[in-house]
Amino acid sequence: MEAMVKKYQQRFKRVKEEMNRWDDLQSRLLSQFQNASSIIERLQLISDPTKYGDLKSIVGIKEALIAKQMDSLQTLLRSMNTTVDEFHGVVSSLEKIARDGRLLVKGGGSNQPTTKQLQLRVGIKPCLADCIDGLDLLHHMHHSEYLLKLSIVSKLSALLLKPSATDLAALHQILVDQPNIPHEEADSAHKHDFGYGGKALRLDQERRSGTAWTKDEHRFCNKN
């Protein structure tokens, strides 16, 4: 049984690597979103002919500036979509790790652990049942957060039609908060090589009870 637990330990180390990759993508996406938000707000400003002063005498200056900013924004949106695709790659890896974890205990015959063995703890390490549930939970949380990020990035283009600093700030805050992933869970990934299973289950209970979202968060996440 201890050998089986060590196999799960290897899988949680792979989870840690994927979550480090997730953190890098999170930093990149936040930077991209802030840059895109700045351009959207700038477009609103340069679309106002009263803001040009003496420069309004220059033929085509407004159109040229708008075209330049739109090109920059389109480049940023493509980069953001690439980043979101990479988030999906992390989710796919976590899904495979969780699936492999379930298959470990489905060998069949005399090698398949009994229910009692699944609940058995080896020293301070988690039991097999906690390992399986922990891997499934981590995949579920990151998959839900990926879908939220995908939705937010898709809404940026719509904001071009009716830009709002309040809306942009609300979307940015949701990205920062990552409401589907408890902060304690992310921090623990960098502090522990194992022991995720039982802790992840407790974190799931905290996440489900959760902190109430703001009206803006509900409005954006529930909007059709």
Q: What pLDDT was estimated at residue 159?
A: 79
Among 55-59, 64-68, 101-105, 192-196, the least confident range: 192-196
Q: What pLDDT was estimated at residue 37?
A: 92
Q: What pLDDT was estimated at residue 24?
A: 97
Instruction: Compute the average pLDDT of residues 162-189.
Output: 81
Q: What pLDDT was estimated at residue 112?
A: 72
Whole-number Å distance between alpha carbons of 29 and 151: 13
**H helix runs in 105-126, sequence order:** 115-118
Q: What pLDDT was estimated at residue 224?
A: 38
Q: What Å distances lie between residue 7 and 12, 40, 140, 183, 193, CA to CA?
A: 9, 49, 21, 26, 13
Question: What b/e sequence results for 195-209 when a residue is b if at least 16 CB atoms lie within 10 Å of its CB, and e otherwise?
Answer: bbbbbbeebbeebee
Instruction: Compute the average pLDDT of residues 87-112.
Output: 85
Which of 30-34, 39-43, 123-127 shows the highest mean pLDDT? Answer: 30-34
Name the average pLDDT for the chain: 80
Q: What pLDDT was estimated at residue 209?
A: 39
Instruction: Compute the average pLDDT of residues 31-49.
Output: 90
Q: Are 75 and 120 in contact (CB under 8 A)?
A: no
pTM: 0.76
Q: Please say if the pLDDT value at position 69 is more than 60.
A: yes
DSSP state of 211: P
Q: What pLDDT was estimated at residue 125?
A: 66
- Model confidence pLDDT, tens digit, residues 105-159: 776 555 677 667 667 666 666 778 888 888 999 999 999 999 999 999 988 878 7
Residue 151 parent element (H or E): helix 128-159
- Model confidence pLDDT, tens digit, residues 10-23: 999 999 999 999 99
